[in-house]
Structure 1
């Protein structure tokens, strides 16, 4: 955190002033140099003069954390936070280190609340204690400043913490109670925040197996987006519906939503949507239509095109495709390389990943390694048992019965 002298020097340089220019007629160049280097303290009269020369309020110089410094810190932290969420580059610790020195002296304003919020989220991800108190402090500040949409973000974050623990019904209840609490006090959320709530509520309804209410929310949200010419969250709604269509065997709906996503990817020039669609398509071909050759071609194309950390979820699909083509040793190699990303928590995503051990069990059984086959069949069974009755569950339980009994 900058000292008074450091703040004066920084502002002087930002405004392109020399020591002599800032000193003017009321200060000597030498005295100003001493002040900037923290070797002399200015009188209130001198401080008022320096502030006037810099074109700012005197309180801005006296503030423990000047507004400009706070804003610059927030800009830097926001950039780091967005990069970390997108790239998973382990930058949460860096954010914590940058914000922590300011925590005790934050003024009552938006920048402070946002820094507290980001700090608490990063501390949660890093499994550090005390993040809850900082999050509550951020929410209190948002509420006091009447920043309802920011407060809503914190409500959604808390609900999704339950989701991350696979407490889906509790997460849904928390989210719905939050929406009701805002409605009761006539707090108006903006359109984007409404769509955030809609998306999370639909995802949670799918997680507890309430497909009807989930589908209703998605359809109403997409219609709302069309009416208001808002494209925010549209790809997320189409993505979850395309996956759901696969699971219920609705080929027409699957084709409709996949086509919509392809068009949206072209419109937005978002390569990640194409990557996700290729993963979904290879999964569909492996697990539902058993067109292993075609699935393998899609996987290979992406393995060549993207970096390893972007396409590691394709490993399980390559293993499944090779198993279907009878290349057991190679299939086992790719299945062993597969890891479930730690931020995957939805039953749809978890269940499709849990197929890995079932396929490994089948391979070991064919290779004559019965004990290993039993071990992996048991792992797959234990993983899938708490999950909803999706096609993956039937497949895994059938493999278990085939090998263990």
Structure 2
């Protein structure tokens, strides 16, 4: 990595200038030699003078990557980040590719917004994949954002730091961290940017529900939805409707569940986005399977929406439940065996839903007269669900365990 003095010397020689020619009448030849040999540091005034004599911007001397190269790299990385999707393995592969692409540049990124953004993306990808140490890059990104007074970007990093605790299932600590960050950002900025306000509201409501505080979770969701409506800001509205609809389902408030599912469908039509409609259908499929046990209706809706659903994660789980309810147990077992829970799932509600799979497999093995296999899956389901909140999923799993382990043999 070239030092400041080395870069000055390199550019001077590229332009065919002698020390005396570059020094001009404001610097001595001796002082310039000391600067080039890293034995003296130029003042900002002297650095500006040297840059002017070389016909370049002062920042070109301070930075270790040309501006055009830096911007091109960021554009490339942003495009790669937008295209990360699919299964857990596919997403991990995408994050690894991004981290690998940025890694050679990390130590020579200059003090610029583009560098901070690259460091932020790099640190996020490193955290997810555990490929490199994420923290030094994260801290550098935060320092640059703070010195450039980019409060929204600082807020994003604060939220990410809180959500790290969420991914480690430290829900109470995650909520406290997010609330402390929100207070800090509000004190720095006076009034939160509307989009950041909605981000904080959304994540705080998720964390409230994860800690079992349904009252505050619902309050924040409804406040955020009303704020979005009042200000005609549709950012996060899709996620808020989905969260509100699912919360209402678990609370047994079917009128409110239908209201938010209807809102999702209207927003899907408004935005011409079939994936949003698939989210609405996913809530209905889960409701039909796990709450009203209308398995044939659930199966029909599943097939109508299959091409828009996460197949390994959601589709095979709900398809297995529907087939089990219909009585096609061997087909159901095959679906459950194909199910793979997304590694990015961390909320207790989502985890509990997926842990039901082992209980269903236990019931299937019991019907197939494979009692020992049934006991293994019933026990696994029980161990997974015990730390989770007291939801219908937990009741179903524990009842399945009692039923199977209560049998002799």
Matched, 1:231 2:204: no
Give the aligned partner of residue 83 of structure 1. Answer: 83
Residues in 2 aligned to 1:256 and 1:302: alpha-carbon distance in whole angstroms: 20
What displacement does 1:318 show? 1.0
Aligned counterpart in structure 2 of residue 42 of structure 1, from 15, 18, 32: 15
Contact 1:60 1:66 survives alignment (8 Å):
no
What displacement does 1:262 show? 0.3
Give the aligned partner of residue 122 of structure 1. Answer: 125
Range with greater deviation from structure 2 (266-275 or 138-147): 266-275
Q: Deviations over 1:118-139 (max 9, x none)?
A: 1111111120342111101110
Partner of 2:291, secondary structure, is: helix
What displacement does 1:279 show? 2.2
Partner of 2:342, secondary structure, is: coil
Give the aligned partner of residue 206 of structure 1. Answer: 209
RMSD: 2.6
Q: In the superposition, relative to structure 1, how do residues 360 and 131 fare at CA in structure 2: closer, same or farther (>3 Å)?
A: same
Give the aligned partner of residue 390 of structure 1. Answer: 391
Q: In the superposition, relative to structure 1, how do residues 80 and 207 fare at CA in structure 2: closer, same or farther (>3 Å)?
A: same
Give the aligned partner of residue 339 of structure 1. Answer: 340
Give the aligned partner of residue 29 of structure 1. Answer: none
Contact 1:148 1:189 survives alignment (8 Å):
no
Contact 2:312 2:339 survives alignment (8 Å):
no
Aligned counterpart in structure 1 of residue 260 of structure 2, from 257, 260, 268: 257
Q: State the TM-score, normalized to the length of structure 1.
A: 0.84
Range with greater deviation from structure 2 (87-96 or 313-322): 87-96
What displacement does 1:226 show? 1.4
- Segments of 5+ residues of structure 2 without an aligned counterpart are 2-9, 23-50
Give the aligned partner of residue 330 of structure 1. Answer: 331
Q: Deviations over 1:185-228 (max 9, x none)?
A: 44543110110000000001111111111111111111111121
What displacement does 1:379 show? 0.9
What displacement does 1:60 show? 6.6
Give the aligned partner of residue 169 of structure 2. Answer: 166
- Segments of 5+ residues of structure 1 without an aligned counterpart are 2-34
Residues in 1 aligned to 2:188 and 2:340: alpha-carbon distance in whole angstroms: 45
Residues in 1 aligned to 2:326 and 2:101: alpha-carbon distance in whole angstroms: 52
Contact 1:312 1:339 survives alignment (8 Å):
yes
Q: Deviations over 1:64-112 (max 9, x none)?
A: 3121221111111111112115774422222223222222222211111
Aligned counterpart in structure 2 of residue 240 of structure 1, from 238, 243, 254: 243
Matched, 1:363 2:336: no
What displacement does 1:327 show? 1.0
Range with greater deviation from structure 2 (225-234 or 252-261): 225-234
Give the aligned partner of residue 141 of structure 2. Answer: 138
Aligned counterpart in structure 2 of residue 95 of structure 1, from 73, 93, 98: 98
Residues in 1 aligned to 2:238 and 2:110: alpha-carbon distance in whole angstroms: 38
Q: State the TM-score, normalized to the length of structure 2.
A: 0.83
Give the aligned partner of residue 150 of structure 1. Answer: 153
What displacement does 1:59 show? 4.6
Contact 1:114 1:138 survives alignment (8 Å):
yes
Contact 2:201 2:224 survives alignment (8 Å):
yes
Range with greater deviation from structure 2 (195-204 or 76-85): 76-85
What displacement does 1:359 show? 0.7
What displacement does 1:150 show? 0.3
Aligned counterpart in structure 1 of residue 110 of structure 2, from 107, 110, 123: 107
Residues in 2 aligned to 1:355 and 1:278: alpha-carbon distance in whole angstroms: 20
Q: How many residues align?
A: 364
Partner of 1:199, secondary structure, is: helix
Residues in 1 aligned to 2:109 and 2:132: alpha-carbon distance in whole angstroms: 20
Give the aligned partner of residue 20 of structure 1. Answer: none
